[in-house]
Amino acid sequence: MWSHQGEAPEWRRTYDAWAVNEIKRVLAQDRGEPLQPDVLGLIPYRPELLLRIGPAALKLPDLFNVIVAHPACALTLLMGFYDATADRLEKFLHGSGEAVFQLMRWAAATSRTLRQPECFYRHALITDCYWGFLHAKQTRNESLLAELLTWCADERQRYAAAAAYFLLRNPAEPIAAYRELLAANPFYAYLALPRLSLRGFSVRAEEIGSTPKWACHFALSAFTGPRDDFIPLTETDPAWLLELAAGLGWLTQPTKLPGLSQAIANRAAGHPLQRPAMRFLVDVKQAGRPP
């Protein structure tokens, strides 16, 4: 919604400004007033808005809870204001190899020294090993690479990440014993699907739970079997429903737009992106009309 068709139209800039100004207003009043749900709900989708707030965002308890629950939000503040936020935020990246990978790459590019012990970053990269392998490759870290390979072999029955890489590196290994573990982690199931599908691995819509993001990814994958089964799972989240619609070419099909509007109006009721999603579809309809 925010990147479609190049430069953002006025309504998107206005919506961003409204959210930022609401946060600043509550901060200025300093009365413990909670933020509006739509503001809190927007931030995980637009973490870059936190750069307009700065470290002061951590003063609001409800916004702080959103930031630490979403590594992309914490990462945004860390890379924008590391010295002022590292002590409070960096530890919350422990479960996200992607955030740790991006933070380490940023630190190397900016010659910054990170504050956590080396084992903190190493553990995150190993247990979320896609990012660990990527980091080891880019930095030519043979020690990390060897540890990753050992970890994947040792922990393949406990972690989907380890199972995925062990199966990819061992084509003779039967998949059946790992199938349930893999399906429970949509990221690693999706990552391994292109190669493991050739060996009989598949993922059903009911196995990934109510995760619109991954439902969208599986619905767009050429390696997913019954892809249509994943489409209804995206309808509770306007952002991923519209991402799916763009991927399937629906935004250029006028007959599809009423159904999208209806789904967002009904199934996404109360979602923080419902209003901007409906406004986005108005733009799409107007862009498709002849002059």
47 in a structural domain: yes
pLDDT at 32: 82
Nearest-angstrom CA–CA distance, 134 and 158:
22
Residues 146 and 100 in one domain: yes
Q: Tell me the average pLDDT across 61-80.
A: 98
Q: What is the pTM (predicted TM-score) of this model?
A: 0.91
Distance of CA 71 to the CA centre of its chain: 9
Residue type, 223: F
25 in a structural domain: yes
Q: Tell me the average pLDDT across 165-178.
A: 94
Residue 246 has pLDDT above 50, yes or no: yes
256 in a structural domain: no
pLDDT at 286: 81
pLDDT at 289: 53
209 in a structural domain: no
Residues 119 and 103 in one domain: yes
pLDDT at 209: 76
61 in a structural domain: yes
Nearest-angstrom CA–CA distance, 272 and 220:
24
Residues 73 and 116 in one domain: no
Whole-number average pLDDT of the chain:
93
Q: Residue 7: pLDDT band by 50, 70, 90 thresholds? A: low
- The count of domains in the chain is 2
59 in a structural domain: yes
Residue 291 has pLDDT above 60, yes or no: no
Q: Are 80 and 53 in contact (CB under 8 A)?
A: no
pLDDT at 8: 61
Residues 132 and 84 in one domain: no
Residues 88 and 110 in one domain: no
Q: Are 281 and 260 in contact (CB under 8 A)?
A: yes
Final residue before a domain boundary, out of 105, 120, 154: 154
193 in a structural domain: no
pLDDT at 4: 61
Nearest-angstrom CA–CA distance, 72 and 91:
13
Please indicate whether residue 12 or residue 253 has the higher confidence score (pLDDT): 253
Range of the structural domain that residue 116 is part of: 94-154
pLDDT above 70 coverage of the chain, percent: 96
Final residue before a domain boundary, out of 58, 93, 128: 93
- Among 61-70, 136-145, 204-213, 247-256, the minimum mean pLDDT is found in 204-213
Q: Residue 6: pLDDT band by 50, 70, 90 thresholds? A: low
Cβ neighbours around 169 below 10 Å, total: 11
Residues 86 and 107 in one domain: no
- State pLDDT tens for residues 19-58: 999 999 999 998 889 999 999 999 999 999 999 999 999 9
pLDDT at 12: 85
Nearest-angstrom CA–CA distance, 263 and 254:
15
Q: Tell me the average pLDDT across 147-154.
A: 97
pLDDT at 290: 39
Q: Are 48 and 75 in contact (CB under 8 A)?
A: no
Residues 22 and 88 in one domain: yes
- State pLDDT tens for residues 80-117: 999 999 999 999 999 999 999 999 999 999 999 999 99
Residues 23 and 86 in one domain: yes
pLDDT above 90 coverage of the chain, percent: 84
pLDDT at 134: 97
Residues 61 and 128 in one domain: no
Final residue before a domain boundary, out of 58, 77, 93: 93
175 in a structural domain: no
